[in-house]
Structure 1
Protein backbone atom coordinates (compact mmCIF):
# COMPACT_ATOMS: atom_id res chain seq x y z
CA UNK A 1 0.00 0.00 0.00
CA UNK A 2 1.04 3.59 -0.55
CA UNK A 3 2.50 5.31 2.45
CA UNK A 4 0.53 8.29 3.62
CA UNK A 5 3.77 10.20 4.11
CA UNK A 6 4.60 9.73 0.40
CA UNK A 7 1.37 11.42 -0.67
CA UNK A 8 0.97 13.89 2.17
CA UNK A 9 1.85 16.58 -0.36
CA UNK A 10 -1.73 16.18 -1.59
CA UNK A 11 -3.15 16.99 1.83
CA UNK A 12 -4.69 20.22 0.52
CA UNK A 13 -5.86 18.64 -2.71
CA UNK A 14 -8.79 16.56 -3.81
CA UNK A 15 -9.66 12.92 -3.45
CA UNK A 16 -10.96 11.52 -6.74
CA UNK A 17 -11.35 7.93 -5.51
CA UNK A 18 -14.35 6.81 -3.43
CA UNK A 19 -11.97 6.22 -0.53
CA UNK A 20 -8.34 5.31 0.13
CA UNK A 21 -7.18 2.81 2.75
CA UNK A 22 -3.72 2.82 4.37
CA UNK A 23 -2.32 0.46 7.01
CA UNK A 24 0.86 2.16 8.21
CA UNK A 25 3.56 1.21 10.68
CA UNK A 26 6.55 3.41 11.46
CA UNK A 27 9.42 2.44 13.75
CA UNK A 28 11.18 5.78 13.58
CA UNK A 29 10.02 9.20 14.59
CA UNK A 30 8.14 11.22 12.00
CA UNK A 31 7.00 14.78 12.34
CA UNK A 32 3.82 16.14 10.79
CA UNK A 33 2.99 19.78 10.34
CA UNK A 34 -0.47 21.13 11.06
CA UNK A 35 -2.49 20.54 7.92
CA UNK A 36 -5.98 19.95 6.62
CA UNK A 37 -7.69 17.93 3.87
CA UNK A 38 -10.47 18.71 1.44
CA UNK A 39 -11.86 15.27 2.29
CA UNK A 40 -12.84 13.53 5.52
CA UNK A 41 -10.43 11.27 7.33
CA UNK A 42 -10.73 8.35 9.75
CA UNK A 43 -7.81 7.27 11.94
CA UNK A 44 -7.90 3.91 13.71
CA UNK A 45 -5.01 3.97 16.18
CA UNK A 46 -3.37 0.59 16.79
CA UNK A 47 -0.13 1.15 18.72
CA UNK A 48 2.44 3.69 19.81
CA UNK A 49 2.55 6.77 22.00
CA UNK A 50 0.63 9.42 20.09
CA UNK A 51 -1.29 12.57 20.87
CA UNK A 52 -3.52 13.88 18.09
CA UNK A 53 -4.33 17.58 17.89
CA UNK A 54 -7.57 18.58 16.16
CA UNK A 55 -8.85 22.17 16.22
CA UNK A 56 -7.57 23.00 19.69
CA UNK A 57 -8.19 19.62 21.35
CA UNK A 58 -5.43 17.15 22.24
CA UNK A 59 -6.42 13.46 22.25
CA UNK A 60 -4.08 11.05 24.02
CA UNK A 61 -4.80 7.91 22.03
CA UNK A 62 -5.33 4.34 23.21
CA UNK A 63 -5.28 1.23 20.97
CA UNK A 64 -8.41 0.90 18.81
CA UNK A 65 -9.37 4.54 19.34
CA UNK A 66 -11.08 5.98 16.28
CA UNK A 67 -10.77 9.64 15.30
CA UNK A 68 -13.11 11.37 12.86
CA UNK A 69 -11.45 14.32 11.17
CA UNK A 70 -13.88 16.40 9.15
CA UNK A 71 -12.81 18.06 5.93
CA UNK A 72 -10.99 21.34 6.58
CA UNK A 73 -10.29 20.55 10.26
CA UNK A 74 -6.72 21.59 11.06
CA UNK A 75 -4.86 18.72 12.72
CA UNK A 76 -1.58 16.90 13.30
CA UNK A 77 -0.16 13.92 15.19
CA UNK A 78 2.55 14.28 17.84
CA UNK A 79 4.49 11.00 17.90
CA UNK A 80 6.89 9.60 20.48
CA UNK A 81 9.89 8.37 18.40
CA UNK A 82 10.71 5.64 20.95
CA UNK A 83 7.77 3.43 19.94
CA UNK A 84 6.20 1.94 16.83
CA UNK A 85 3.37 4.04 15.49
CA UNK A 86 0.79 1.80 13.80
CA UNK A 87 -2.53 3.02 12.48
CA UNK A 88 -5.12 2.60 9.78
CA UNK A 89 -5.99 5.73 7.83
CA UNK A 90 -9.05 6.00 5.61
CA UNK A 91 -9.52 9.01 3.34
CA UNK A 92 -13.23 9.45 2.65
CA UNK A 93 -14.71 11.16 -0.40
CA UNK A 94 -17.80 13.10 0.69
CA UNK A 95 -19.34 12.80 -2.79
CA UNK A 96 -19.25 9.01 -2.59
CA UNK A 97 -21.12 8.97 0.72
CA UNK A 98 -23.62 11.53 -0.57
CA UNK A 99 -24.29 9.32 -3.61
CA UNK A 100 -25.23 6.55 -1.19
CA UNK A 101 -27.57 8.72 0.89
CA UNK A 102 -30.61 6.43 0.79
CA UNK A 103 -33.85 6.99 2.72
CA UNK A 104 -32.34 10.07 4.35
CA UNK A 105 -29.54 7.97 5.84
CA UNK A 106 -26.65 10.41 5.53
CA UNK A 107 -23.36 8.63 6.18
CA UNK A 108 -21.61 11.99 6.56
CA UNK A 109 -23.56 12.57 9.78
CA UNK A 110 -20.77 11.32 12.04
CA UNK A 111 -18.31 13.84 10.58
CA UNK A 112 -20.81 16.69 10.79
CA UNK A 113 -21.65 15.83 14.40
CA UNK A 114 -17.96 15.51 15.33
CA UNK A 115 -17.35 18.99 13.94
CA UNK A 116 -20.49 20.42 15.53
CA UNK A 117 -19.83 18.93 18.99
CA UNK A 118 -16.07 19.58 18.77
CA UNK A 119 -15.51 15.97 19.76
CA UNK A 120 -13.68 13.66 17.36
CA UNK A 121 -13.01 10.52 19.39
CA UNK A 122 -14.82 7.20 19.36
CA UNK A 123 -13.48 4.90 22.09
CA UNK A 124 -15.12 1.52 21.67
CA UNK A 125 -13.80 -1.97 21.13
CA UNK A 126 -16.50 -3.50 18.96
CA UNK A 127 -16.02 -7.05 17.66
CA UNK A 128 -18.42 -6.33 14.79
CA UNK A 129 -16.54 -3.19 13.79
CA UNK A 130 -13.17 -4.93 14.04
CA UNK A 131 -14.43 -7.79 11.88
CA UNK A 132 -15.75 -5.47 9.17
CA UNK A 133 -12.53 -3.46 9.25
CA UNK A 134 -10.47 -6.64 8.77
CA UNK A 135 -12.67 -7.74 5.86
CA UNK A 136 -12.40 -4.27 4.33
CA UNK A 137 -8.60 -4.34 4.49
CA UNK A 138 -8.47 -7.77 2.85
CA UNK A 139 -10.89 -6.70 0.10
CA UNK A 140 -8.94 -3.50 -0.49
CA UNK A 141 -5.76 -5.48 -1.16
CA UNK A 142 -7.51 -8.07 -3.35
CA UNK A 143 -7.60 -8.10 -7.15
CA UNK A 144 -10.03 -11.01 -7.39
CA UNK A 145 -13.30 -10.92 -9.30
CA UNK A 146 -15.70 -8.37 -7.82
CA UNK A 147 -13.16 -6.99 -5.34
CA UNK A 148 -14.02 -3.37 -6.19
CA UNK A 149 -17.72 -3.94 -5.55
CA UNK A 150 -17.00 -5.90 -2.37
CA UNK A 151 -14.67 -3.30 -0.89
CA UNK A 152 -17.14 -0.49 -1.53
CA UNK A 153 -19.94 -2.53 0.02
CA UNK A 154 -17.79 -3.28 3.08
CA UNK A 155 -16.77 0.35 3.35
CA UNK A 156 -20.41 1.47 3.37
CA UNK A 157 -21.16 -1.18 6.01
CA UNK A 158 -18.22 0.13 8.05
CA UNK A 159 -19.56 3.69 7.77
CA UNK A 160 -23.02 2.57 8.93
CA UNK A 161 -21.47 1.09 12.09
CA UNK A 162 -19.29 4.17 12.66
CA UNK A 163 -22.35 6.41 12.48
CA UNK A 164 -24.39 4.18 14.79
CA UNK A 165 -21.63 4.05 17.38
CA UNK A 166 -20.74 7.72 17.20
CA UNK A 167 -24.37 8.83 17.48
CA UNK A 168 -24.88 6.49 20.43
CA UNK A 169 -21.66 7.52 22.18
CA UNK A 170 -22.70 9.45 25.30
CA UNK A 171 -19.71 8.97 27.61
CA UNK A 172 -17.24 11.36 26.01
CA UNK A 173 -17.49 13.77 28.93
CA UNK A 174 -16.05 11.10 31.22
CA UNK A 175 -12.78 10.83 29.30
CA UNK A 176 -9.92 12.39 31.24
CA UNK A 177 -7.10 12.14 28.68
CA UNK A 178 -8.33 14.96 26.46
CA UNK A 179 -6.70 18.35 26.89
CA UNK A 180 -8.90 21.28 26.01
CA UNK A 181 -9.05 24.92 27.03
CA UNK A 182 -12.72 25.96 27.04
CA UNK A 183 -11.89 29.64 26.66
CA UNK A 184 -9.80 28.99 23.55
CA UNK A 185 -12.55 26.67 22.35
CA UNK A 186 -15.01 29.56 22.50
CA UNK A 187 -12.55 31.77 20.64
CA UNK A 188 -12.21 29.13 17.91
CA UNK A 189 -15.99 28.86 17.62
CA UNK A 190 -16.29 32.63 17.34
CA UNK A 191 -13.60 32.85 14.66
CA UNK A 192 -15.08 30.07 12.55
CA UNK A 193 -18.58 31.55 12.78
CA UNK A 194 -17.42 35.05 11.82
CA UNK A 195 -14.75 34.63 9.16
CA UNK A 196 -16.44 37.25 6.97
CA UNK A 197 -16.22 39.89 9.72
CA UNK A 198 -13.52 41.97 11.39
CA UNK A 199 -11.35 39.62 13.45
CA UNK A 200 -8.47 41.66 14.83
CA UNK A 201 -6.67 40.42 17.92
CA UNK A 202 -7.75 43.55 19.78
CA UNK A 203 -11.42 42.90 19.01
CA UNK A 204 -11.25 39.22 19.94
CA UNK A 205 -9.40 39.83 23.21
CA UNK A 206 -11.87 42.56 24.14
CA UNK A 207 -14.87 40.36 23.38
CA UNK A 208 -13.55 37.53 25.57
CA UNK A 209 -12.15 39.80 28.32
CA UNK A 210 -8.57 38.58 27.90
CA UNK A 211 -5.28 40.34 27.64
CA UNK A 212 -4.29 40.10 23.98
CA UNK A 213 -0.83 38.82 24.97
CA UNK A 214 -2.34 36.10 27.16
CA UNK A 215 -4.76 35.23 24.33
CA UNK A 216 -1.97 34.99 21.76
CA UNK A 217 0.12 32.79 24.06
CA UNK A 218 -2.74 30.42 24.97
CA UNK A 219 -4.02 30.24 21.39
CA UNK A 220 -0.62 29.28 20.00
CA UNK A 221 -0.12 26.69 22.73
CA UNK A 222 -3.54 25.13 22.16
CA UNK A 223 -3.69 25.16 18.35
CA UNK A 224 -0.11 25.41 17.11
CA UNK A 225 -1.05 28.53 15.14
CA UNK A 226 -0.83 32.24 15.74
CA UNK A 227 -4.29 33.83 15.69
CA UNK A 228 -3.47 35.70 12.47
CA UNK A 229 -2.28 32.57 10.66
CA UNK A 230 -5.23 30.51 11.87
CA UNK A 231 -7.74 33.10 10.67
CA UNK A 232 -6.00 33.48 7.32
CA UNK A 233 -5.84 29.72 6.74
CA UNK A 234 -9.49 29.29 7.65
CA UNK A 235 -10.47 32.12 5.33
CA UNK A 236 -8.51 30.54 2.48
CA UNK A 237 -10.14 27.17 3.17
CA UNK A 238 -13.52 28.90 3.07
CA UNK A 239 -12.62 30.62 -0.21
CA UNK A 240 -11.58 27.26 -1.64
CA UNK A 241 -14.98 25.83 -0.74
CA UNK A 242 -16.89 28.83 -2.12
CA UNK A 243 -15.15 28.71 -5.50
CA UNK A 244 -15.85 24.98 -5.72
CA UNK A 245 -19.52 25.80 -5.25
CA UNK A 246 -19.48 28.20 -8.20
CA UNK A 247 -18.61 31.54 -6.61
CA UNK A 248 -16.32 33.83 -8.57
CA UNK A 249 -12.85 34.57 -7.20
CA UNK A 250 -13.96 38.12 -6.35
CA UNK A 251 -17.08 36.91 -4.53
CA UNK A 252 -15.05 34.35 -2.58
CA UNK A 253 -12.53 37.03 -1.59
CA UNK A 254 -15.28 39.24 -0.14
CA UNK A 255 -17.35 36.49 1.50
CA UNK A 256 -14.39 34.89 3.28
CA UNK A 257 -13.41 38.20 4.89
CA UNK A 258 -10.35 39.34 2.95
CA UNK A 259 -10.40 43.11 2.80
CA UNK A 260 -7.83 43.38 0.03
CA UNK A 261 -8.06 41.46 -3.25
CA UNK A 262 -4.32 41.52 -4.01
CA UNK A 263 -3.51 40.19 -0.50
CA UNK A 264 -6.05 37.43 -1.05
CA UNK A 265 -4.45 36.38 -4.35
CA UNK A 266 -0.96 36.36 -2.82
CA UNK A 267 -2.09 34.35 0.22
CA UNK A 268 -4.03 31.87 -1.91
CA UNK A 269 -1.06 31.34 -4.23
CA UNK A 270 1.26 30.85 -1.26
CA UNK A 271 -1.05 28.27 0.32
CA UNK A 272 -2.06 26.33 -2.80
CA UNK A 273 0.89 26.99 -5.13
CA UNK A 274 -1.22 28.61 -7.85
CA UNK A 275 -3.46 31.62 -8.28
CA UNK A 276 -7.18 30.88 -7.66
CA UNK A 277 -7.99 30.86 -11.39
CA UNK A 278 -5.09 28.59 -12.38
CA UNK A 279 -5.71 26.33 -9.40
CA UNK A 280 -9.30 25.62 -10.35
CA UNK A 281 -8.52 25.29 -14.04
CA UNK A 282 -6.16 22.46 -13.07
CA UNK A 283 -8.80 20.99 -10.77
CA UNK A 284 -11.39 21.07 -13.57
CA UNK A 285 -9.03 19.10 -15.81
CA UNK A 286 -8.57 16.48 -13.11
CA UNK A 287 -12.32 16.12 -12.80
Structure 2
Protein backbone atom coordinates (compact mmCIF):
# COMPACT_ATOMS: atom_id res chain seq x y z
CA UNK A 1 0.00 0.00 0.00
CA UNK A 2 1.27 3.46 -0.83
CA UNK A 3 2.43 5.57 2.07
CA UNK A 4 0.32 8.65 2.60
CA UNK A 5 2.06 11.90 1.76
CA UNK A 6 1.40 14.58 4.36
CA UNK A 7 1.28 17.93 2.64
CA UNK A 8 -0.32 21.21 3.70
CA UNK A 9 -1.53 23.31 0.80
CA UNK A 10 -2.09 26.38 2.99
CA UNK A 11 1.09 28.16 1.77
CA UNK A 12 -0.18 28.09 -1.82
CA UNK A 13 -4.00 28.07 -1.55
CA UNK A 14 -5.47 30.60 -3.97
CA UNK A 15 -2.10 31.71 -5.33
CA UNK A 16 -1.95 32.80 -8.94
CA UNK A 17 1.15 32.48 -11.07
CA UNK A 18 1.66 33.85 -14.56
CA UNK A 19 4.54 33.42 -16.96
CA UNK A 20 5.13 34.26 -20.61
CA UNK A 21 7.51 31.93 -22.44
CA UNK A 22 7.30 33.58 -25.84
CA UNK A 23 4.48 32.22 -27.94
CA UNK A 24 2.56 30.94 -24.93
CA UNK A 25 1.53 32.57 -21.67
CA UNK A 26 0.41 30.34 -18.82
CA UNK A 27 -1.84 31.59 -16.02
CA UNK A 28 -2.61 29.28 -13.12
CA UNK A 29 -4.73 29.53 -10.00
CA UNK A 30 -3.74 27.02 -7.33
CA UNK A 31 -6.65 25.28 -5.64
CA UNK A 32 -6.97 23.42 -2.37
CA UNK A 33 -6.29 19.94 -1.10
CA UNK A 34 -9.51 18.01 -1.67
CA UNK A 35 -10.45 14.97 0.38
CA UNK A 36 -12.83 12.36 -0.98
CA UNK A 37 -14.18 9.80 1.49
CA UNK A 38 -17.45 8.75 3.11
CA UNK A 39 -18.14 12.39 3.99
CA UNK A 40 -17.69 13.50 0.37
CA UNK A 41 -17.73 10.72 -2.19
CA UNK A 42 -17.89 12.97 -5.28
CA UNK A 43 -17.52 16.54 -6.53
CA UNK A 44 -20.44 15.93 -8.94
CA UNK A 45 -20.25 16.18 -12.74
CA UNK A 46 -19.02 19.64 -13.72
CA UNK A 47 -16.81 21.51 -16.18
CA UNK A 48 -14.59 24.60 -16.36
CA UNK A 49 -13.72 27.25 -18.91
CA UNK A 50 -10.04 26.29 -18.51
CA UNK A 51 -7.90 23.21 -17.91
CA UNK A 52 -8.16 21.53 -14.51
CA UNK A 53 -5.01 19.63 -13.63
CA UNK A 54 -4.95 17.37 -10.56
CA UNK A 55 -2.13 15.62 -8.70
CA UNK A 56 -3.10 12.74 -6.39
CA UNK A 57 -1.21 13.04 -3.09
CA UNK A 58 -2.64 9.93 -1.43
CA UNK A 59 -5.23 7.18 -1.75
CA UNK A 60 -7.14 6.07 -4.80
CA UNK A 61 -10.40 6.80 -6.57
CA UNK A 62 -12.07 7.34 -9.94
CA UNK A 63 -11.88 10.08 -12.54
CA UNK A 64 -14.88 10.16 -14.89
CA UNK A 65 -14.02 12.10 -18.01
CA UNK A 66 -16.37 12.24 -20.96
CA UNK A 67 -17.44 8.64 -21.56
CA UNK A 68 -14.43 7.06 -19.81
CA UNK A 69 -13.63 6.23 -16.20
CA UNK A 70 -10.00 6.17 -15.07
CA UNK A 71 -8.69 4.65 -11.87
CA UNK A 72 -6.34 7.12 -10.17
CA UNK A 73 -4.01 6.70 -7.22
CA UNK A 74 -1.10 8.34 -5.43
CA UNK A 75 1.36 10.02 -7.78
CA UNK A 76 -0.99 10.12 -10.77
CA UNK A 77 -1.53 13.37 -12.69
CA UNK A 78 -4.69 13.87 -14.72
CA UNK A 79 -6.28 16.73 -16.59
CA UNK A 80 -9.72 17.82 -17.79
CA UNK A 81 -9.96 20.03 -20.86
CA UNK A 82 -12.09 23.16 -20.98
CA UNK A 83 -15.85 22.53 -21.29
CA UNK A 84 -15.52 18.75 -20.84
CA UNK A 85 -17.77 17.30 -18.14
CA UNK A 86 -15.85 15.36 -15.51
CA UNK A 87 -16.17 14.06 -11.96
CA UNK A 88 -13.89 12.77 -9.21
CA UNK A 89 -15.31 10.14 -6.89
CA UNK A 90 -14.52 7.31 -4.49
CA UNK A 91 -16.27 4.13 -3.45
CA UNK A 92 -17.24 3.53 0.16
CA UNK A 93 -13.97 1.65 0.71
CA UNK A 94 -11.71 4.32 -0.79
CA UNK A 95 -10.10 7.55 0.35
CA UNK A 96 -8.52 10.02 -2.04
CA UNK A 97 -6.64 13.29 -1.58
CA UNK A 98 -5.52 15.56 -4.38
CA UNK A 99 -4.61 19.13 -5.18
CA UNK A 100 -5.95 20.87 -8.26
CA UNK A 101 -4.73 23.66 -10.54
CA UNK A 102 -6.88 25.77 -12.89
CA UNK A 103 -4.81 26.64 -15.95
CA UNK A 104 -5.34 29.01 -18.88
CA UNK A 105 -2.97 29.12 -21.86
CA UNK A 106 -2.90 32.12 -24.17
CA UNK A 107 -1.27 31.99 -27.59
CA UNK A 108 0.51 34.68 -29.60
CA UNK A 109 0.11 33.40 -33.15
CA UNK A 110 2.65 35.93 -34.41
CA UNK A 111 5.45 34.04 -32.66
CA UNK A 112 6.99 30.61 -33.09
CA UNK A 113 7.86 28.36 -30.13
CA UNK A 114 11.57 28.66 -29.41
CA UNK A 115 12.10 27.96 -25.73
CA UNK A 116 11.91 24.46 -24.22
CA UNK A 117 8.88 25.58 -22.23
CA UNK A 118 7.13 26.81 -25.36
CA UNK A 119 7.80 23.50 -27.11
CA UNK A 120 6.38 21.50 -24.18
CA UNK A 121 3.24 23.63 -24.11
CA UNK A 122 2.82 23.31 -27.88
CA UNK A 123 3.12 19.52 -27.62
CA UNK A 124 0.48 19.54 -24.88
CA UNK A 125 -1.91 21.68 -26.93
CA UNK A 126 -1.35 19.52 -30.01
CA UNK A 127 -2.36 16.41 -28.11
CA UNK A 128 -2.13 15.18 -24.55
CA UNK A 129 -2.96 12.19 -22.40
CA UNK A 130 -5.79 12.33 -19.89
CA UNK A 131 -3.63 10.73 -17.20
CA UNK A 132 0.01 9.94 -16.54
CA UNK A 133 0.66 7.50 -13.73
CA UNK A 134 3.10 7.09 -10.83
CA UNK A 135 4.82 10.49 -11.02
CA UNK A 136 5.81 10.60 -7.35
CA UNK A 137 8.91 12.64 -8.10
CA UNK A 138 6.51 15.61 -8.25
CA UNK A 139 6.19 15.41 -4.46
CA UNK A 140 9.69 16.92 -4.27
CA UNK A 141 8.11 20.25 -5.24
CA UNK A 142 5.63 19.99 -2.35
CA UNK A 143 8.43 19.10 0.06
CA UNK A 144 10.38 22.15 -1.06
CA UNK A 145 7.31 24.39 -0.65
CA UNK A 146 6.69 23.02 2.88
CA UNK A 147 10.33 23.53 3.89
CA UNK A 148 10.59 26.97 2.31
CA UNK A 149 7.39 28.23 3.93
CA UNK A 150 8.34 26.80 7.35
CA UNK A 151 11.61 28.71 7.27
CA UNK A 152 10.43 31.96 5.72
CA UNK A 153 6.90 32.05 7.23
CA UNK A 154 5.60 33.71 4.08
CA UNK A 155 5.23 33.17 0.37
CA UNK A 156 8.17 34.25 -1.65
CA UNK A 157 10.06 33.98 -4.90
CA UNK A 158 11.10 30.40 -4.20
CA UNK A 159 7.54 29.11 -3.83
CA UNK A 160 6.40 30.94 -6.96
CA UNK A 161 9.24 29.45 -9.02
CA UNK A 162 8.61 25.97 -7.61
CA UNK A 163 4.96 26.21 -8.62
CA UNK A 164 5.83 27.32 -12.13
CA UNK A 165 8.21 24.39 -12.51
CA UNK A 166 5.66 21.95 -11.09
CA UNK A 167 2.96 23.13 -13.51
CA UNK A 168 5.27 23.06 -16.54
CA UNK A 169 6.63 19.62 -15.71
CA UNK A 170 3.07 18.30 -15.27
CA UNK A 171 2.12 19.70 -18.68
CA UNK A 172 5.22 18.13 -20.21
CA UNK A 173 4.46 14.73 -18.65
CA UNK A 174 0.95 14.78 -20.09
CA UNK A 175 2.01 16.01 -23.51
CA UNK A 176 2.07 13.62 -26.44
CA UNK A 177 5.45 14.09 -28.09
CA UNK A 178 5.94 14.81 -31.74
CA UNK A 179 5.15 12.18 -34.38
CA UNK A 180 8.80 12.02 -35.33
CA UNK A 181 9.78 11.07 -31.78
CA UNK A 182 6.97 8.56 -31.47
CA UNK A 183 7.95 6.75 -34.66
CA UNK A 184 11.36 6.13 -33.19
CA UNK A 185 9.81 4.59 -30.08
CA UNK A 186 6.99 2.49 -31.56
CA UNK A 187 8.73 -0.86 -31.40
CA UNK A 188 10.91 -0.20 -28.38
CA UNK A 189 10.69 -2.15 -25.10
CA UNK A 190 9.76 1.16 -23.42
CA UNK A 191 6.47 1.28 -25.32
CA UNK A 192 5.76 -2.34 -24.42
CA UNK A 193 6.56 -1.66 -20.75
CA UNK A 194 4.25 1.36 -20.80
CA UNK A 195 1.45 -0.87 -22.12
CA UNK A 196 2.05 -3.38 -19.30
CA UNK A 197 2.04 -0.57 -16.73
CA UNK A 198 -1.22 0.85 -18.06
CA UNK A 199 -2.90 -2.57 -17.99
CA UNK A 200 -1.66 -3.33 -14.46
CA UNK A 201 -2.92 0.04 -13.26
CA UNK A 202 -6.42 -0.44 -14.72
CA UNK A 203 -7.26 -4.08 -14.03
CA UNK A 204 -10.33 -3.05 -12.02
CA UNK A 205 -11.64 -1.08 -14.97
CA UNK A 206 -12.84 -2.09 -18.42
CA UNK A 207 -9.78 -2.21 -20.70
CA UNK A 208 -9.98 -2.20 -24.47
CA UNK A 209 -7.15 -2.47 -26.95
CA UNK A 210 -8.25 0.81 -28.53
CA UNK A 211 -8.05 2.58 -25.15
CA UNK A 212 -4.53 1.28 -24.44
CA UNK A 213 -3.45 2.35 -27.93
CA UNK A 214 -4.96 5.79 -27.43
CA UNK A 215 -3.22 6.26 -24.09
CA UNK A 216 0.16 5.38 -25.62
CA UNK A 217 -0.55 7.17 -28.90
CA UNK A 218 0.19 4.09 -30.97
CA UNK A 219 -1.96 2.01 -33.29
CA UNK A 220 -3.79 -1.15 -32.21
CA UNK A 221 -1.77 -3.02 -34.79
CA UNK A 222 1.45 -1.88 -33.11
CA UNK A 223 0.24 -3.14 -29.75
CA UNK A 224 -0.66 -6.51 -31.21
CA UNK A 225 2.80 -6.71 -32.79
CA UNK A 226 4.57 -5.87 -29.50
CA UNK A 227 2.67 -8.47 -27.46
CA UNK A 228 3.30 -11.11 -30.10
CA UNK A 229 6.98 -10.18 -30.21
CA UNK A 230 7.66 -10.10 -26.46
CA UNK A 231 5.08 -12.55 -25.06
CA UNK A 232 3.99 -14.58 -28.09
CA UNK A 233 0.35 -13.94 -27.22
CA UNK A 234 -2.39 -11.42 -27.94
CA UNK A 235 -2.90 -8.34 -25.81
CA UNK A 236 -6.53 -9.40 -25.15
CA UNK A 237 -5.35 -12.75 -23.79
CA UNK A 238 -2.82 -10.99 -21.56
CA UNK A 239 -5.44 -8.57 -20.20
CA UNK A 240 -7.94 -11.34 -19.50
CA UNK A 241 -5.39 -13.54 -17.73
CA UNK A 242 -4.23 -10.65 -15.52
CA UNK A 243 -7.85 -9.88 -14.64
CA UNK A 244 -8.60 -13.51 -13.78
CA UNK A 245 -5.52 -13.78 -11.54
CA UNK A 246 -6.75 -10.69 -9.68
CA UNK A 247 -10.26 -12.17 -9.57
CA UNK A 248 -8.92 -15.36 -7.95
CA UNK A 249 -7.32 -13.21 -5.26
CA UNK A 250 -10.67 -11.52 -4.52
CA UNK A 251 -12.52 -14.84 -4.48
CA UNK A 252 -10.08 -16.21 -1.92
CA UNK A 253 -10.95 -13.18 0.24
CA UNK A 254 -14.61 -14.24 0.04
CA UNK A 255 -15.89 -11.55 -2.29
CA UNK A 256 -19.04 -12.71 -4.05
CA UNK A 257 -18.89 -13.62 -7.73
CA UNK A 258 -20.77 -10.44 -8.72
CA UNK A 259 -18.53 -8.27 -6.52
CA UNK A 260 -15.42 -9.89 -7.98
CA UNK A 261 -16.64 -9.36 -11.54
CA UNK A 262 -17.08 -5.65 -10.81
CA UNK A 263 -13.65 -5.48 -9.15
CA UNK A 264 -12.02 -6.62 -12.40
CA UNK A 265 -14.11 -4.41 -14.68
CA UNK A 266 -16.48 -7.06 -16.03
CA UNK A 267 -20.11 -6.08 -15.67
CA UNK A 268 -21.83 -9.40 -16.38
CA UNK A 269 -21.49 -12.56 -14.28
CA UNK A 270 -21.98 -14.97 -17.23
CA UNK A 271 -19.08 -13.40 -19.16
CA UNK A 272 -16.93 -13.37 -16.03
CA UNK A 273 -17.72 -17.02 -15.28
CA UNK A 274 -16.81 -18.10 -18.82
CA UNK A 275 -13.50 -16.25 -18.69
CA UNK A 276 -12.62 -17.52 -15.23
CA UNK A 277 -13.31 -21.14 -16.19
CA UNK A 278 -11.15 -20.72 -19.30
CA UNK A 279 -8.09 -19.78 -17.22
CA UNK A 280 -8.65 -21.85 -14.03
CA UNK A 281 -10.57 -24.85 -15.32
CA UNK A 282 -13.42 -24.39 -12.83
CA UNK A 283 -16.08 -21.73 -12.31
CA UNK A 284 -15.58 -18.96 -9.73
CA UNK A 285 -17.98 -20.47 -7.15
CA UNK A 286 -16.27 -23.86 -7.31
CA UNK A 287 -12.85 -22.18 -7.10
CA UNK A 288 -13.96 -20.29 -4.01
CA UNK A 289 -15.15 -23.51 -2.36
CA UNK A 290 -11.89 -25.27 -3.14
CA UNK A 291 -9.86 -22.44 -1.59
CA UNK A 292 -12.12 -21.51 1.33
CA UNK A 293 -9.65 -22.94 3.86
CA UNK A 294 -7.10 -20.32 2.78
CA UNK A 295 -9.36 -17.51 3.97
CA UNK A 296 -8.61 -16.04 7.37
CA UNK A 297 -11.23 -14.18 9.40
CA UNK A 298 -9.64 -10.74 9.28
CA UNK A 299 -10.74 -7.23 8.34
CA UNK A 300 -14.11 -6.11 7.11
CA UNK A 301 -15.60 -9.57 6.42
CA UNK A 302 -16.47 -12.11 9.08
CA UNK A 303 -18.16 -15.40 8.37
CA UNK A 304 -18.13 -19.02 9.36
CA UNK A 305 -16.04 -21.12 7.00
CA UNK A 306 -16.77 -24.58 5.76
CA UNK A 307 -13.50 -26.44 5.72
CA UNK A 308 -13.45 -29.03 2.96
TM-score range, shorter chain: 0.3 to 0.5
TM-score (norm 2): 0.42
TM-score (norm 1): 0.45
